[in-house]
Every structure is written in structure tokens, then in C-alpha cells.
Amino acid sequence: MHLVNVWIEHPVMDLNRTFTYALKDGMKAQRGVRVEVPLLSQSVTGFVDGGEETDLSLEEYSEKAGYEIKEVIRVIDDEPILNEELYELGLWMAHQTVSPNIACFQCMLPSKMKPRSNRKASVVEYYVHLIDETKATSEKQKGAVELLKQGDILRSELNKAFTGISAVLEKKGTVEIYAKEREAGYSELDIKEADYPLTWEQISAIDKINNSEKDVILLHGLTGSGKTEVYMQLAARKCRRGKQVLILVPEISLTPQMVSRMVSRFGANIAIYHSKLNDQQRYEQYQLVRNHQVSIVVGTRSAVFMPFDDLGLIVLDEEHDHSYKQDSSPRYHCRDVAIHRAAHHHCKVILGSATPTLESYARAIRNVYELVELKNRIHQNLPTSHLIDMQAQIRRGNYILSEPLEKAIRNRLNNHQQCILLLNRRGYTTIMKCRKCGKVIQCPHCDIAMSYHKDENKLMCHTCGTEMSAEMDCPECGSRNWIHQGLGTQRLYETIQDKFPEARILRMDADTTRKKNGHQEILEAFERGEADILLGTQMIAKGLDYPNVTLVGIFNADALLGRTDYRSVEVTFDLIVQASGRSGRGHSAGEVFVQAYDCHHYGIRLAVRQDYVSFFKNEMEYRHIGDYPPYKYMIAICFSSRDQNRAQQLAWDAGEQFRKDENIRTLGPSQLGRILDEYRYRVVLKGANRDQMIETVWKWYEGLQISRQQIKVRIDVDPYVLD
Ligand code: ADP
Ligand code: ZN
Ligand code: ZN
């Protein structure tokens, strides 16, 4: 009898072990193949890890094992769906992120192929194959047979030439018809050249990258310094040598602009892979790579799992971007996976950014990574930046829009140039407060103030999505006298429109882009010059390249500093620098106005000067004092449950256990705000040896006996946000 060990997702427990099943006669299942198996009166899909042969019968083996061995219901794939490299990658990732192997396998595949899905049919096409030409009688049938002698053809093609013929021939036994998964046609390599000469800076950057002995290169260059051109040059070179190339970009920069730039350079040789594709499209792009029909993939985070087998280069553009870290289990970082895969393929990884993470820059100056710099912008010098002290403006009665920024906007409107205004907060106001008793309306399910959305006259919780009408009496005192405080994009839009009634303004935030292609429509309208001002949240801070934009205004630039998160300064710096980079990309000089309350903060001052290196030095000092990354590694473990005692107790026990490890500094448990009616507690571990910390957490995790329905345990290795 043949037995297989199968990874499955247990419906109740987070287990990381295989279950043993017996193969029925005639079934074959090697490593990486999916099977359907019975579990707790359900049938679930799992991945085969390996198998063994036994002389015992099912009953005998069950008796020996001490539990009933069941039979595999169905073997789903003929070939392993994950090749050896990807299979190993899944196991490695599970270990690194302390998550079940099955969760990693699932996350690596497009959902059409994920184990749990019912496997909706992919696009299949029907082909006609000639089996017996002697049976053709009529002229029409003979004509069809002649055609089929040259090879199998699509049923639809055949019927186009000889109407209704396929059914006739099949009935006679002349042909057989079979189904085959659709493949896109193979496209010849057709790479265009750039229509401008490279700058000497770009040339020397490319040289340095090609000649570097390091596996990882940090390409540090201002926005608009020509990094993307460098990627494309290197990619073209690899493709011409028959290698595959992966270019990873944050969700936000996969704009129509970026895509069309890539497509016009690489033609049909490129696959685009991102979260806006539907299941079928993702599946098709995945197959294109698997079948070697494209050599370049441009994609967001999950594209890092594409089934390449001969990678020549990986680029991670805007390597500091938060979207590279997955914020649900498995909490992997795309950069780590990219570097791991590159090692397997013996190829280089290029990390590009104007504002690298402190981790990457620190590695670059310690010579772990090769540091390559682009110090000049291609078309223009950096925009001129102005820091506006809003405390002083408020004393003059300008609460939202400062005088200098107002003047600058008017000037652009008069000169038919465009502006981008950034406010990283959607909604109308951020809180609704009772004038009489001071009560702030909070989300009934979270410990968070609800935002007021004037458009819909609603209150919304931006954390859990709960909505309610804003027409209400104060639940404390019954008054109906509300104060709306704080500034969101809706209110900013209103204010700007009031000041400049003639201006055409587009608003872009999570509310206005909800519908399909919402993003794209707004950006395209702006690009066509149908608006003077584009106003929005951090969505508009990155990646956009509009030559007619000569002014960028940033409102409440220091709002993010108020968070307790250890990365808040880095995030603020990044946002200001990136947003500033949208100004003056064409031939006219650009200007940037940054409005802030705390103008002395180094994060704000240095961002306005675009001085990354000084920022790095300042910020490293703060990280050093606080024992934060890149000096120490961190693992955060969060416990959440509707049952407060249970969550608190488990967090407490975990803290006690970790404290026994003298190589780890254990902080907490601390109580976090409630979200979606769940109480949350968190323990944070800090230490110098990441591998050892992971081992410790694994040991603890494997000893846990808890049901997912009662309590959730969220383990985050190298957490990106900690607030
Ligand atoms: P980054 O990726 O650093 O923001 P890009 O590669 O997008 O910079 O370059 C910024 C702009 O300059 C783009 O519009 C690009 O087409 C153009 N560009 C890039 N390299 C050159 C060059 N050598 N000569 C002229 N224009 C260039
Ligand atoms: Zn009240
Ligand atoms: Zn909520």
C-alpha cells in the first residue's frame, strides 16, 4: 500500500504537521501535487509532502498508527503544482514567518490554483485530432481531413472553414475532440531602445551594478533621477541572453503610466501581475510565466512567487514601500523572499529607492550591499521647497490653507500649470464631538473615533468599516450640537473650491476610487489636463510623473509623527520626499509647500531639504537608543479575542515564558485598543539574533493548544508597524 503525507489547513487549529492518507490503487501523487482528502467529516484540499510504501494493509497500518488512516479521495494535479524551488521556498517562508506551511503554499499560488478553491474551470479550448481519414466521404469532409493532416486544429477554426463539420466527423469516428488549456501565443523577443541617450550617471550606475560582486545592490537615487531607465536597460540585457526578469513595484506605482512605459519597451514579452486582476487574468499571467511565453514580469508583492525557472535579475523598486510587507498571515516581506529566490537562481537583486529603509541603507554603508547612487535629476533640479509654520498661520486666521500656498496655487491657475495637493486623511473631519458635554463619537466595535463623511452624511470607522448616520443626538446628554474637528480630504476639497471657484479639482482617496478603474479614470483625466488640481491621500504621493505639475502642497505634514509607532518619522520623511518628487518633473521648475505645526522636527526639516543622509544619521541615533531595528530585531505577538480574560491570560503566559530566555528582551504584554469587538494584547520581543528568536517563538507556538475560534494569535516577525 502507498501512503502519502499531506499538508492541510485544519479547520480549527493552526497546526503545522502533515496528515497521513492512503492512495487508492492506481493513484500517483508526488511532492507538490494537490490532493483532496477527508478531514473531520469534510473534504479538504492539501499538498503532498512525500510518501512511503508499506506492506501492511489499511487496517493493520491504522492499528499500528493508533488512528484510522483514510483514503485520498482524488489526486488533483498530474504534475506538481509547485516545483522543488517553490516548494522549498514555501517551507523556508513558513519557518521565517512562524506560520503553517499550508498557509504559505496557499499564498504563493493565484487563487484559481489555491487548494481551498473549488477550482473553477480555467479557459479551455477544444482541438480536433484526426484518427481515421478513410471514413471521410463527402468533398467537404475530405477537405477538412486535408486540413487536419497538417496537425490538430482548434474546433472553432475548423468549423469556421467547414461549417458544422466537427460534429459530423466525430460521429463517424474520423476525428476525436479533446480539451486543452488555453495558451497565449509565444511572442518573439522585441525590445525597443530608449529614445534618448543615457546620462553618464546612468551609464556608470549600470557598469557598477554589472561589475559588482555583491548579490544585493541598493540603488539610491532621487525621484526622477532615471532609476527606472536603469532597470529597463539591465532587464533588456538579461532578456537578450534568454534569462527571466522580475520587476517588483508597490501597488500604488503600478499606474497606467508605468505599465505603458514598460509595455512600449518590452512589447508582448511582459506579464503584468497585480491585485486588481481577476482570478482568471492572474491565472493566465501565471501560466504565461510557467510556459516561458514571457521573459519579464512587472508585478506587485505576490509576483515574487511566479514560477520562474531561470531568473537573471530581480528589481524591487521603491524598496521602502509598506505594501511589500503582507499584513495578514503569512506576514512575509517581499524583499526577503526576493533575496532568497535570487540566491537560488544566482542572480542579482536591485533595491531601488529615493528613501531607502534604514535597514537597507545601513547594510549598504556596512558594505553588505553594494551602494550605487544617482545624484541628479534627469530634467530639472529638485523643486524649491518651503516649510510653512501653521502655528503662525493660525494666528493670522488661516486654519487650513496658508497664505504662501494660496498664492502659489493662484499663480499656477493663472499660468495653466497643474497642482497636486496631498492630505493623508480621508473623510470630512476626523472627529465629531458634542459641544455641550465633550463626548467624541467612537466606533461601537473599536476604540477609535469615527470620521465624519459629509458627502454621505455618515460616520465611518476607518479601521473596521462600520458606518452610521451622522444625524444623531448625543448619546451622553441628548444635545444635537456637534463640533466637527480635524481635516480630511472632503473638507480640504470644499475649502479649496471655495477659494478658487474657477479651479477644476479632482479628489482621489479611498472613497472616490471605490468603483472599478476609479483610480485610473481620475489619473487619466488629470493627465489629459481636464483638471487643474489633483487632491488626495497618499495614493497620489508616489509614482506619478506629470510634466505639467509644478506645484505640490502637503497639508498636515507632521500628522503622522503623532503616532507612537517607531517608524513614524521614517514614514513621514518618505511621504514628504516622495510627494515633493511629483513637482517639476517636466521642463518648468517645480515648487513644494509643506505645511506643518512642528517645523523643528528633524524628520520634517530634513525631508523638506531632501537630505536623506542627514536624516539617516539622526534617525539611526533614535533607533539605537530605543533598541529598534536595524540595531535589534523585533517579533510582535498579538493576542485577540472577544473574551478579554482569555486574551490577557494567554498574553501573560507567553510573556512569562519568553522572559525565561535571556537572549531576548520581552516587553509587555501591553493592552491595545479594541478592534471589531476583540480585545487585544501584545508582547514584543527584541534581540540581536533573529534566527534564535524565531526558534524560540516556534517552540512556544508549537506547544500552544488553542482553537482559532476562541482566540487569534498573530505573529509578526520584523513588524513594519507597531502602533
Ligand atoms: P526614477 O525612476 O528615478 O523616478 P525615471 O527613470 O522615471 O526616474 O526617469 C524620470 C524621467 O526622465 C522619465 O520621464 C524618463 O523617461 C526620463 N529619462 C530617464 N532617463 C533619461 C535620459 N537618459 N535622457 C532623457 N530622459 C530620461
Ligand atoms: Zn453630549
Ligand atoms: Zn470600527
The string of pLDDT tens digits covering residues 279-321 is 777 888 888 888 888 889 999 999 999 999 999 999 999 999 9
490 exposed, middle or buried (CB, 10 Å; 0-12, 13-18, 19+)?
buried
CA-based end-to-end distance of the chain: 54
Report the alpha-carbon distance of residue 619 to residue 396 in Å, rounded. Answer: 34
Shortest-distance Cα residue to atom 19 of ligand 1: 226
The β-bridge partners of 124 are: 181
* pLDDT number for residue 695: 95
Looking at all shown ligands, the one closest to residue 375's CA atom is: 1
Question: 442 CA to middle of ligand 3, Å?
Answer: 8
From ligand 3's centre to the CA of 460, what distance in Å? Answer: 8
**Ligand 3 midpoint to CA 426 (Å):** 15
CA of 557 to the centre of ligand 3 (A): 25
* Residues framing ligand 1 (Cβ under 6 A): 196, 198-199, 202, 221, 223-229, 378, 545
Mean pLDDT of 444-464: 88
Q: In the structure grid, which three cell numbers stand for residue 287, read together? A: 501560466
Residue for grid cell 495558451: 183
In whole angstroms, what is the distance from residue 324 CA to residue 343 CA? 19
Kindly report, residue by residue over 614-646, the tens digit of the pLDDT: 999 999 999 999 899 999 999 999 999 999 999
Centroid of ligand 2 to alpha carbon of 459 (angstroms):
16
Query: What is the DSSP secondary structure assignment for residue 25, as one 8-state letter?
Result: T
CB atoms within 10 A of CB 604: 23
Q: What's residue 292's pLDDT?
A: 83
Burial bucket for residue 434 (CB in 10 Å: 0-12, 13-18, 19+) = buried
CB atoms within 10 A of CB 362: 18
Pairing between β-strand 244-248 and β-strand 370-374 as defined by DSSP bridges = unpaired
Bridge partners, residue 271, by sequence: 297
pLDDT computed for residue 80 by the predictor: 85
Produce one character per residue of 152-175: b if its CB has 16 or more CB atoms within 10 Å, e if not. bbebeebeeebeebbebbeeeebb
Q: How far apart are the CA of 70 and the centre of ligand 1, in A? A: 61
**Could you give phi then psi for residue 485, rounded to 5 degrees?**
-115, 155
Q: Could you tell me the strand order of the sheet in which 678-687 lies?
A: 665-675, 678-687, 633-641, 712-717
How much distance in Å is there from the Cα of 719 to the middle of ligand 2?
Answer: 39
Mutate to test the pocket of ligand 1, among 220, 225, 229, 249 (most ligand atoms within 8 A of CB): 229
Are 200-374 and 384-428+487-625 equal in CATH topology?
Answer: yes
- Which residues have CB under 8 Å from 320's CB, separation 6+? 353, 355, 356, 357, 360, 570, 574
| Model confidence pLDDT, tens digit, residues 168-186 | 898 888 999 887 766 544 4
Ligand 1 pocket test, candidate residues 228, 233, 260, 578, most atoms within 8 A of CB: 228
List all residues 6 or more positions away from 711 whose beta carbon is below 8 Å from its beta carbon.
639, 640, 641, 643, 646, 647, 650
Closest residue by Cα to atom 24, ligand 1, is: 196
Cell of 441: 463619537
Residue ranges per domain, the chain? 2-117, 124-181, 200-374, 384-428+487-625, 633-717
What are the pLDDT digits (tens) for 196-218?
A: 899 999 999 999 999 999 999 99
Query: Which residues, including other chains, have CB under 8 Å from residue 647's CB and lie 6 or more apart?
Result: 639, 640, 641, 678, 679, 680, 681, 711
Confidence band (pLDDT; 50, 70, 90) for 497? very high
pLDDT over threshold 80, residue 709 = no
Is residue 706 exposed (0-12), middle (13-18) or buried (19+ Cβ within 10 Å)?
middle
Distance CA 620, CA 19 (A): 47
Rounded distance from Cα 612 to ligand 1 centre (Å):
21
Section 386-400 average pLDDT: 93
Instruction: Grade residue 123 by pLDDT with cuts at 50, 70 and 90.
Output: low
Is CATH 1.10.3370.10 correct for 2-117? no
The matching CATH number, chosen from 3.90.79.10, 3.10.180.10, 3.30.70.600, 3.40.50.300, for 633-717 is 3.30.70.600
Cβ contact 158:128 at 8 Å: yes
pLDDT at 194: 80
Q: Which of 516, 424, 513, 511 is nearest to 465 (CA)?
A: 511
Cα–Cα distance measured from residue 70 to residue 5, given in angstroms and rounded to the nearest whole number: 12
Which atom of ligand 1 lies nearest, measured to the CA of 229?
Answer: 6
In ligand 1, which atom is closest to the CA atom of 379?
12
Q: Looking at residues 372-398, what average pLDDT do you find? A: 89
d(C-alpha 33, C-alpha 180), whole Å = 20
The pLDDT value recorded for residue 189 is 64
CA 350 – ligand 1 centroid, Å: 17
Give the number of other Cβ atoms within 10 Å of residue 384's Cβ. 12
pLDDT value of residue 118: 39
Would the CA dihedral through 401, 405, 409, 411 be positive or negative?
positive
Please identify every residue whose CB atom is under 5 Å from ligand 3, which is an ion.
443, 445-446, 461, 463-464, 466
b/e burial code for range 315-330 (CB count within 10 A of at least 16 → b): bbbbbbbbbbbbeebb
If we measure between CA atoms, which residue out of 427, 614, 392, 581 comes closest to residue 511? 427
For residue 432, the CA-to-ligand 2 centroid distance in Å is 11
Is the per-residue pLDDT at 653 higher than 50? yes
Q: Are 99 and 330 in contact (CB under 8 A)?
A: yes
CA-to-CA separations, 80 to 29, 49, 84, 109, in angstroms, rounded: 8, 11, 9, 12
Q: Give me the mean pLDDT over the 244-258 stretch.
A: 79
CA-closest candidate to residue 357, choices 69, 570, 661: 570
Neighbours of ion ligand 2 (CB under 5 A): 434, 436-437, 439, 474, 476-477, 479
- Residue bearing the CA closest to ligand 1, atom 11: 224
Mean pLDDT of 539-543: 77
pLDDT (0 to 100) of residue 158 = 82
In the prediction, which pLDDT does 41 show?
Answer: 80
Asked whether 181 and 122 are in contact (CB, 8 A), the reply is yes
Phi, psi values for residue 523, rounded to 5°:
-65, -40
pLDDT of 43 higher than 90: no
Residue nearest to atom 25 of ligand 1 (CA): 196
pLDDT higher than 50, residue 580 = yes
The DSSP secondary-structure symbol of 383 reads: P
Query: Which architecture, in CATH terms, is 200-374?
Result: 3-Layer(aba) Sandwich (3.40)
Q: Burial-class residue 256 by CB neighbours within 10 Å (0-12, 13-18, 19+).
A: middle
Atom number in ligand 1 closest to CA 225: 3
Q: How confident is the model at residue 723 (pLDDT cuts 50, 70, 90)?
A: low
- Residue 706 or residue 165, greater confidence: 165
Nearest CA to ligand 1 atom 23: 198
DSSP letters spanning 284-325: HHHHHHHTT--SEEEE-GGGGG---SSEEEEEETTTT-GGGB
Total H helices, total E strands in the chain = 21, 31
Give 482 Cα–ligand 2 centroid separation in angstroms: 8
* pLDDT category of residue 551 using cuts at 50, 70 and 90: very high
Ligand 1: nearest atom to the Cα of 545: 14
Confidence of residue 408 (pLDDT cuts 50, 70, 90): very high
Interval 535-553 mean pLDDT: 86
Nearest atom in ligand 1 to the alpha carbon of residue 222 is 3
Contact 598, 561 (CB under 8 A): yes
pLDDT at residue 25 tops 50: yes
**355, 578 Cβ separation under 8 angstroms:** yes
At residue 255, the pLDDT reads 65
Residue from 220, 227, 265, 378 whose mutation best tests the ligand 1 pocket (most atoms within 8 A of CB)? 378
CB 298 within 8 A of CB 254: yes
User: In the predicted model, what is the mean pLDDT of residues 343-368?
Assistant: 96
Q: Does domain 384-428+487-625 have CATH number 3.20.20.60?
A: no
Answer whether residue 517 shows pLDDT above 80.
no
Which strand (E) or helix (H) includes residue 69?
A: none
Q: How confident is the model at residue 388 (pLDDT cuts 50, 70, 90)?
A: very high
